Chain A
Amino acid sequence: MNTMILGVFLLGLSLVKNLINISFNELLSLLSRVFEALYGHEHDYQEMAQTIFWLECHGHSGINKLIEKLPELEAVKNIYLPSPNITKEVITVDCCGGSLFTNAHLICDLAFSEAENYGTSKVFIINAKDPYAIIGYLGSACNNSLSSYLVTDKISAFISPRSQYPTIYSNTSCKKIQLTCAKNHNLIDMSHIANLEPKLDVIKQKSFYEIALKNGLSISTLNFKKLNLIADRILVPSTDASRLGAGE
């Protein structure tokens, strides 16, 4: 029943004049072009796009989060991270005030790799913005063998092996962003969420995804235009000569 109500709601939303209905394929392609326009081939722009895409099509408002962040992303061109500090117990990554939208995947790679090799890993992420991006990557990465647990100042998230759907909790009190991965989830300290009800559970995210896949995603026309404006920077102006480049 809830699914049906949500479906009707989404369809209704798309009828509102300032919304546009787009497919998953269109959104992923658009985001990919946006990040390619922002960072060229110096970074894994497709993975950045995939992270936002995952958030959007699982009900986490990925597009709105990205749009809010765009001025900052456009201003900061150097998004390279300094080498992580690695000790036996913990890896510390300093994001130097940058957004995790651009490098959540790199940090998760480290966490996954250490946990695969040593059974468990803990990563402290400091001076970072947009920790929600980690959730986007954990969902889209769908790691086969690891449980992952993310704690930030506002939310916590736990995801099981092979799952695309983290369970999200709110109201944590952690000062820093902390990602723990383990082959055995019993090795992860999840005391922060021991007695909490999920803010967003697997069923809601799955349901959002399925309805959006069926009906398309409704996003603001203004946001769609903003993204396209950036995406179009990868296009080369057309000339009579360039038209020959596709074969007169």
Chain B
Amino acid sequence: MFELKPFSNNTDLPMRSPKTVMDLPRLGALYPYPLSFMRCLLRRVMKEMWGIKSTIFNLDEEGFGEVVYEITTPNAIYSYVIFSKKLSDSKRSDRVIAEDWDMTVTLCEGQINQDRLEFLKQNVPLQEKGRVDSKCLVLSRANKSMRNFEYVIDCLSSGKQPNLDRIAKVGYIFRTTAVYGSGKFGMSDWDNLCNKYIDFAKPFSAEMFSCFMIRHFSLELANWVARGRSPKTAVELDDGIKRYIGIGNATGLGMAPYLIKHPMLIANWIEVREKSLARIIKYKFPDKDSLGSLECLIMKAAQHLDEISTDNLEQNQRNKRAVNEVKKCLKWITAKNKTIVNWQELIDYAYYNYHVETQELINAILTEVYAKFILDLESELNIDESYRMQPMMKLNELKSLIEKNYKWALSYDFNNSLSTETFWYRSEEKQEPRLGKKSVDNGIEKEMMMCIARDVRSCFNEICDIEESNESITVAHFAFSRPHLRYIIRRIQTMGSTQYGEIIANLLDVDVLPIHLLRCKLSFFGVGKFDPRSKKWVRNTMFQGAPLVSDIGNEYNDTWCFPIRPKFSEKLN
């Protein structure tokens, strides 16, 4: 079950080996950690005390209309523009192919005048079918949670706070179904954003901020509609409950190609994460304080997992197993209290005794214990991506590179039809990525380039077909007559300089679980409470437990990881 040598010793930090880290089921077990993007964002918002106030709040009693929030940072002013409309229940869908939403939004540069608002009003509600411009940084939409929104309004309008058990089951009252940035539909390109809008010059920072603002608006909207329905009896949502309400998110296959298309970026994010852990292992040692923090966080994480409500049997089992194992681990720690000499001992123990979910949970908890010690690594999350050909490389060098870094890819048997039964393609419906079965579905001739392992294998086979005496020819000569291999050669060469190169998986396998890819990326966003709806899409919760806009300016403790039910429920209910 476990690789015998979890750590490689080729750097001065005890980094885990790519073989261990990049294995897809492990990537699918990653938890948010202090350098997850929404955590990075909120540290900045709170530290710099961003001003967020509504300048237009033009809603009817049912909450339909438009709202503009003005955001003032030390560097610039932005506007967050929201269009809220009535949507019939039958039109409400999490799918990217939906055409209508309860709320559509954009984050854009500067203040908004009437002309600008009118332009946005003509385009933002159309989402993919509209056009915005380079002054817009994010385009997004969200739908009401059928389970919670009306319930919360009913409670508030009748003068009661919502029941926390009910809130805990879902965790949000609105759910985003797509968050677009980086130049989509005419928006600002990432390079422009990095240069011009430094407040959002970290990965997915603007997108995370948009989700934070949707959460803020959803809470204001709940109060507004409750007051509109019953001005005399309505009460405002309690701040403690508000903090416990996050923003929902539905993520599907669309996120998976991103991970395959941007291996340098993913390798870098993983490396920063691994460096965080390795740094703790090397420089920090268990003592009374750290063991105390660890114990508290383990208990909090266990409760957090216990409180997750999902109909997905497998996810429930994973959560329960992680809770049991992490509690056992706590007992082990308690028993060994005086004898644990370093954190490697704990990690090794988890590695050899618990499942991958628990191992990664413990790793995430350790990074939380020493969050301040790793925060400087936040500056390493950005990277310039470029996959350039190195044409002068000798063919035998390329072959060695494959043998060294892609042994995993060469281990698959692509002659077995089950190894290539799955294919990925883009549907004509909004270019939505979908999975097909070769033996059943149409579209194989238009499959996406998603299987790095198979492409590497093809390249390796063709190199092996070259006579030994010709192995010293350059890659340029080799690719000249084999242009179909040039793309994978560039990739192999580029990723050769990264430590955590590729996701170790055959994405064409009949049993591939794309949900691991989704969860991997979502963990870097900082998302929790995974509620898989199938192996292809997952609901989750963002910003649950995070500070509110009204908390900006107050003392900030970056400790809202593993959100748990507030303790004052009895008093309020």
Contacts and interface: CB of A to CB of B under 8 A. Distances in A.
B192 A213 contact: yes
A84 interface: yes
Given A213-B192, A247-B533, A106 B486 contact: yes
Given A47-B389, A109-B476, A213-B195, 11 more contacts: A21-B134, A23-B188, A26-B186, A44-B486, A44-B487, A109-B389, A110-B480, A114-B476, A116-B391, A116-B392, A233-B446
Interface stretch (A66-74, A126-134, A237-245): A237-245
Contacts of B195: 213
A41 B449 contact: yes
Contact of B483 (A80, A233, A234): A80
Nearest to A116: B392
Contacts of A84: 480
Contacts of A22: 186
Interface stretch (B17-25, B216-224, B426-434): B426-434
A195 B431 CA distance: 52
A80 B485 CA distance: 13
Contacts of A213: 189, 191-192, 195
Contacts of A241: 441
B483 A236 contact: no
Interface stretch (B167-175, B317-325, B534-542): B534-542
Contacts of A46: 487
Contact of A25 (B96, B184, B436): B184
A24 B474 CA distance: 33
B479 interface: yes
A223 to B, nearest CB: 16
Contacts of A214: 134, 192, 196
A45 B433 CA distance: 19
A51 interface: no
Interface string A31-52: 0000000000111111100000
Nearest to A86: B477
A25 B429 CA distance: 20
Interface in B427-473: 427-429, 431-436, 441-443, 446, 449
Contact of B486 (A47, A232, A237): A47
23 contacts: A24-B189, A25-B182, A44-B486, A80-B483, A103-B483, A109-B480, A110-B480, A112-B476, A213-B189, A213-B192, A235-B426, A235-B427, A235-B431, A236-B426, A236-B443, A237-B428, A238-B427, A242-B436, A245-B434, A245-B441, A246-B427, A246-B433, A247-B253
A163 interface: no
Scoring B253, B436, B476, B534 by chain A CB atoms within 10 A of each residue's CB, the highest score goes to: B476
A117 B189 contact: no
B475 interface: yes
Interface string B75-109: 00000000000000000000111000000000000
Interface residues of A, number: 48
Determine chain A's interface SS by DSSP, over half rule.
helix
Interface string A99-124: 00001011001101110110000000
B206 to A, nearest CB: 14
B427 A109 contact: no
A80 B186 CA distance: 35
B435 A246 contact: yes
A42 B134 contact: no
Contacts of B475: 109, 113
A89 interface: no
Contacts, number: 156
A186 interface: no
Contacts of B425: 236, 245
A78 B476 CA distance: 20
A188 interface: no
B272 to A, nearest CB: 24
A106 B479 contact: yes
Contacts of B408: none
Nearest to B538: A247
Interface in A148-192: none
A109 B479 contact: yes
Interface of B: 95-97, 131, 133-134, 182-192, 195-196, 252-253, 388-389, 391-392, 425-429, 431-436, 441-443, 446, 449, 474-477, 479-481, 483-484, 486-487, 490, 533-537
A17 to B, nearest CB: 13
Contacts of A207: none
Contacts of B97: 243
Contact of B131 (A21, A116, A234): A21
B392 to A, nearest CB: 4
B480 A81 contact: yes
Nearest to B473: A113
B314 to A, nearest CB: 15
Nearest to B427: A238
Nearest to B191: A213
Nearest to A233: B446
A113 B446 contact: no
Contacts of A44: 483, 486-487, 490
A144 to B, nearest CB: 9
A6 interface: no
A233 B428 CA distance: 9
Contacts of B192: 213-214
A23 to B, nearest CB: 3
Given A44-B486, A238-B429, A246 B480 contact: no
A44 B162 CA distance: 57
A166 B157 CA distance: 67
A236 B442 contact: yes
A53 to B, nearest CB: 12
Contact of B427 (A20, A26, A117, A242): A242
A230 to B, nearest CB: 13
A113 B253 contact: no
Interface in A203-240: 213-216, 232-238
Scoring B131, B182, B195, B477 by chain A CB atoms within 10 A of each residue's CB, the highest score goes to: B477
A141 interface: yes
B536 A247 contact: yes
B480 A106 contact: yes
A241 B391 CA distance: 44
B183 A23 contact: yes
Contact of A117 (B426, B474, B479, B490): B474
A242 B134 contact: no
B361 to A, nearest CB: 26
B187 A23 contact: yes
A246 to B, nearest CB: 5
Closest 8 CB pairs of A and B: A25-B183, A247-B536, A23-B183, A245-B434, A236-B443, A113-B476, A116-B392, A109-B391
Given A26-B186, A246-B252, A21 B483 contact: no
A233 B534 CA distance: 29
B391 A21 contact: no
B481 to A, nearest CB: 6
